[in-house]
Amino acid sequence: MRKIVVTSGKGGVGKTTVTATLGRHLADMGYRTVLVDADVGLNNLDVVTGVESRVVYDIGDVLAGRCTVWQALVQDHESAARVLPSTNGGEEISAQAFRALVDAIPDADFVLIDCPAGIEKGFHRAVSAATEAIVVTTPSASAIRDADKVVSLLSAYRLEDVSVVVNRVRPDMVSRGEMMSVEDVCGLLRTPAVGAIPEDDCITLYQQLGRVPDFALSERAYERLASNVARREKKVAELRKVKKRRRWF
């Protein structure tokens, strides 16, 4: 079982969306995938995946012995992935207890842990249960600076691999020199990229309605990300500027 924590230095960079979409693509590839919401303060993985109305048990119930891990898992309605919801008011959960809970997840090929933003106690609790890490950032200076702090903290853990997903890339702005490229970001973070996701309005539009459609600009990028993660590769394709079609009136 591969346990991958998806983290970021700050909120708002798309970390939870990356976790959910990557998990769904891995499930589509035939891997038994579980998405774990490790944010006990601002948990919303169940909302992003659209399963919040079907949640019966959560992490708090498992740790209190009111149910098993299997009973708390919720089937994602858009894929074969399963979601383990977080709990409110669970800041007192220890890293040891959370790690034991993740290790108790049955029959999983991949466990993706949606880490709370920042570098407080929740960050260390989530990372302690993982064997690999993906740091999500955008090409903005503030996001990169915060991601750099996260990468430095991750070096203290015995992780098998640490990689970066650069989210919300605008190829047109990169070509004009108005935005850092994926290579620039990885150079500053001294960490290789496992994926690069273009800015895509479809993600915002369809996120609450269900799965992002196949025609979305980001779909091929997420397919490449899932393939890289599954095969332990770092083949990131160059994002190309999308040409606008001429309209005829």
DSSP 247: P
pLDDT tens for 170-192 read: 999 999 999 999 999 999 999 99
Look up residue 22 and give its two tokens: 């990557």
End-to-end CA distance of the chain: 56
Residues of the chain with pLDDT under 70: 90, 202-216, 238, 240-249
Beta strand 110-114 pairing with 33-37:
parallel
Look up residue 161 and give its two tokens: 């691999």
Cβ partners under 8 Å of residue 143, min gap 6: 8, 9, 10, 13, 137
Using N-to-C axis directions, what is the helix angle for 15-28 and 219-231, rounded to 10°?
70
Look up residue 70 and give its two tokens: 């299997």
Q: What region, left, alpha or beta, does residue 156 occupy, with left being phi > 0 and alpha being psi -120 to 50 degrees?
A: alpha
Distance CA 139, CA 166 (A): 7
Q: Say if residues 40 and 90 touch (Cβ distance below 8 Å).
A: yes
CATH class, 2-229 region: alpha beta
pLDDT tens for 91-129 read: 788 999 999 999 999 999 999 999 988 888 889 999 999
Q: Say if residues 115 and 133 touch (Cβ distance below 8 Å).
A: no
